[in-house]
Structure 1
Amino acid sequence: MKVKFAPSLMCMDLMNVQNQIGILDQYADYYHIDIMDGHFVKNLSLSLDFVKRLKLITNIPLDCHLMASNPEMYVDQLIEIGADFISLHAETISGQAFRLIERIKQADIKFGVVLNPETDLHAISSYLHLVDILTIMSVDPGFAGQKFIVESIDKVRLASSLKADKQYSYEIAVDGGCNKKTYKILRQAGAECFIVGSSGLFGLHENLNLAYELMLREYEQETACI
């Protein structure tokens, strides 16, 4: 399976969005959009209005990663805006997971679930078969540039094993610290989509075309022997 890359747009130059999207559209498989409420995580990032405006200038699928204590308040708006994926934190949907999944899928939108570093994969075993994209956090959510949490590798490995054993169809994405230091071990563990931010993409070169080429080169160099 060809690995995918999803630029994390909270790390882009937000003063130069249209130009940067024009460049990224040539390469990206998805766009990863962090939407934070300042409560579930102590930060604010991209907004619903950003998603709405982005839909006007790109056809790349948008994976909206909702970091909010009350995700049910945002799901209908994301459906209306036209999100391609709505990814909800497992820690926030206990007691309403099946209702939210049904609402998302009835709108013909793909359902994603996100696991914090300390959240066990078995916490979502009852609805894992309904997941389209499984995002495993390898840093604590909310802030860019954190140290990679090595314990997340075992979770990726288990997710890959379960997918094969149960014939599940979810895609395994990793969010946090995806760069030349971690590509090989994550790919070996079963990662299928790398969400790339400051260290993996945007910080590699001020010229975004060159940065993307460097990222792909680093990935190919690190994983050539797999």
Structure 2
Amino acid sequence: MTATSTPTLTKRPRQIQLAPSLMTMDLDQFKEQISFLNERANLYHIDIMDGHFVPNITLSPWFIEQTRKISDLPMSAHLMVTDAPFWVQQLIDIKCEMICMPAEVSNGVAFRLIDQIHDAGLKAGMVLNPETPVDTILPYIDLLDKVTIMTIDPGFAGQRFLSVCLDKIVHLRKLRDEHGYGYQIEMDGSTNLAHWKLISDADPDIYVIGRSGLFGLTDRIEDSWDQMVHEYEQSTGYRFDNGRYISKD
């Protein structure tokens, strides 16, 4: 299947996880938005950028600690950094539940970092930017708890959606089915009305939702969530139900 094909919708119940990207939330309404999302999201996506791997500098381990004061949801850190070992240790120190490293700078220390994360009782993931093939992580793919596929160029919200990257999701699902790997498949980038159908057809396990798909839809998080659900249902033919998408009759 290519990223632009539209196969017949699979009529099987399926459960996915929703991971709001807190980099894109309205920090003026931080407590209100987190309190609302705590009852609906499955986990939180925390972008950590160092200003070198990508130009921006964003969230940090400190932000995770502050969010934990008002949320018990798991935190998934998406590292966009050049010095992965430095940041991995900081996230281990605060017991961040999922630590996802950029494959582009992790090869050479990947086995050590994955073992270090697992030894701390946490989960390890790798992130593949648009130009990075799945083959890059094959030597240690069996050790991963999550693989994140970027469908935009990293570092900024609002980048152009790269539909060709959805083929990696299909590839990863096939590898997992064939070999019994245990990783979850996450997609990150421009998850919104314009792309819900394409993304749903590729069938990732975790959807990272940001400004264009959630936080920027209306001025109120309650209304934005309802609009997101409506847009997904209308685009895909799946019904949203308490954190799950279930096929319609």
Q: Which interval holds the TM-score relative to the shorter structure?
A: over 0.9
Q: 1:80 aligns with which of 78, 83, 93?
A: 93
Matched, 1:26 2:39: yes
Shift of the alpha carbon at 1:222?
Answer: 1.6
Match of 1:44 in 2: 57
Match of 2:185 in 1: 172
SS of the residue aligned with 1:172?
strand
Matched, 1:128 2:149: no
Cα distance in 2 for residues equivalent to 1:173 and 1:183: 14
Cα distance in 2 for residues equivalent to 1:9 and 1:199: 13
Cα distance in 1 for residues equivalent to 2:69 and 2:115: 27
Q: 1:117 aligns with which of 127, 130, 133?
A: 130
Match of 1:218 in 2: 231
SS of the residue aligned with 2:62?
helix
Cα distance in 2 for residues equivalent to 1:172 and 1:187: 13
Deviations 1:178-198 (A, max 9, x none): 112222222222212110111
Cα distance in 2 for residues equivalent to 1:99 and 1:163: 23
Query: Does the 8 Å contact 1:160/1:189 carry over to 2?
Result: no
Cα distance in 2 for residues equivalent to 1:125 and 1:98: 12
Paired positions, count: 226
SS of the residue aligned with 1:75?
helix
Cα distance in 1 for residues equivalent to 2:186 and 2:230: 20
Shift of the alpha carbon at 1:15?
Answer: 2.4
Shift of the alpha carbon at 1:71?
Answer: 0.9
TM-score between both structures, scaled by the size of structure 1:
0.96
User: Where in structure 1 do 4 or more consecutive aligned residues deviate above 6 Å?
Assistant: none
Match of 1:162 in 2: 175
Q: Which moved more, 1:11-20 or 1:23-32?
A: 11-20
Query: Does the 8 Å contact 1:8/1:196 carry over to 2?
Result: yes
Cα distance in 2 for residues equivalent to 1:67 and 1:88: 7
Match of 1:11 in 2: 24
User: Higher RCO, 1 or 2 (CA under 8 Å, sep at least 6)?
Assistant: 2
Query: Does the 8 Å contact 1:117/1:136 carry over to 2?
Result: yes
Shift of the alpha carbon at 1:60?
Answer: 0.7
Shift of the alpha carbon at 1:17?
Answer: 1.3
SS of the residue aligned with 2:199?
helix
Report sequence identity in percent. Answer: 42
Shift of the alpha carbon at 1:82?
Answer: 2.0
Deviations 1:143-162 (A, max 9, x none): 00111011101111111111
- Return the index of the structure with the highest Cα Rg: 2
Q: 1:59 aligns with which of 72, 75, 82?
A: 72
Shift of the alpha carbon at 1:125?
Answer: 0.3
Match of 2:11 in 1: none
Query: Does the 8 Å contact 1:156/1:186 carry over to 2?
Result: no
Shift of the alpha carbon at 1:16?
Answer: 2.3
SS of the residue aligned with 1:103?
helix
SS of the residue aligned with 1:39?
coil
Deviations 1:192-218 (A, max 9, x none): 211011111011111101111211221
Task: Mark the runs of 5 or more structure 2 residues left unpaired by the alignment.
Answer: 1-13, 239-246
Task: Mark the runs of 5 or more structure 1 residues left unpaired by the alignment.
Answer: none
Cα distance in 2 for residues equivalent to 1:206 and 1:15: 11
